[in-house]
Amino acid sequence: MKKIATFFCICALLLSACSRPQSKDTGKSAMAVQQTNLYMDALKASDFDAAWKFYARDFFMTHSEEGWRDYLQGVEKKRGKMQRYEVSDQQMDIRYSGTFFIVNYRVWYANSKKSSSQIVTMIEPVTGGPMQIYAHKLEFDDVQVQ
């Protein structure tokens, strides 16, 4: 009986060691979600100038500012105004260049029956400075853009 109990204890320890790591810094994670929610509020209000203040310079190394603005405005034109959003998941990942906060959203638009998925990645650089958007991925049934 002791062998069976020991076996189950070892299995439980191994399973807990294999689970997804949880952030010890919930304060920074909460701040990242708050920042991305402010960004999403700006998009919901069609205030692209306010939304632009959240982007890191690195984002526009892979996207032209004009092209990205046109894309976001095109999403609104095709799908209608953003009606609501909710956080569906969040993660924190520490890398050599900084701490990344990945916030997943479900988003509903006026002209779409289904929700879409958006993933906003914020970075807090190791060199200091504010948290800013490093990546933004939008997924619709018919299109996926990063």
Q: If you average pLDDT over residues 12-16, what whole number do you get?
A: 41
Q: If you average pLDDT over residues 8-14, what whole number do you get?
A: 43
Report whether pLDDT(16) > 60: no
pLDDT of residue 2: 55
The C-alpha atoms of residue 94 and residue 83 are separated, in whole angstroms, by 33
pTM over 0.85: no
- Report pLDDT digits (tens) over 103-135: 999 999 999 888 999 999 999 998 888 999 999
The C-alpha atoms of residue 107 and residue 129 are separated, in whole angstroms, by 29
Can you list the positions of beta strands (E) in the chain? Answer: 82-95, 98-109, 116-125, 132-139, 144-145
Q: Which amino acid is located at 10 in the chain?
A: I
Domain ranges, ordered by start, for the chain: 27-145
pLDDT of residue 8: 43
Hey, what CATH class is 27-145 in? alpha beta
Report whether pLDDT(19) > 90: no
The C-alpha atoms of residue 98 and residue 126 are separated, in whole angstroms, by 5
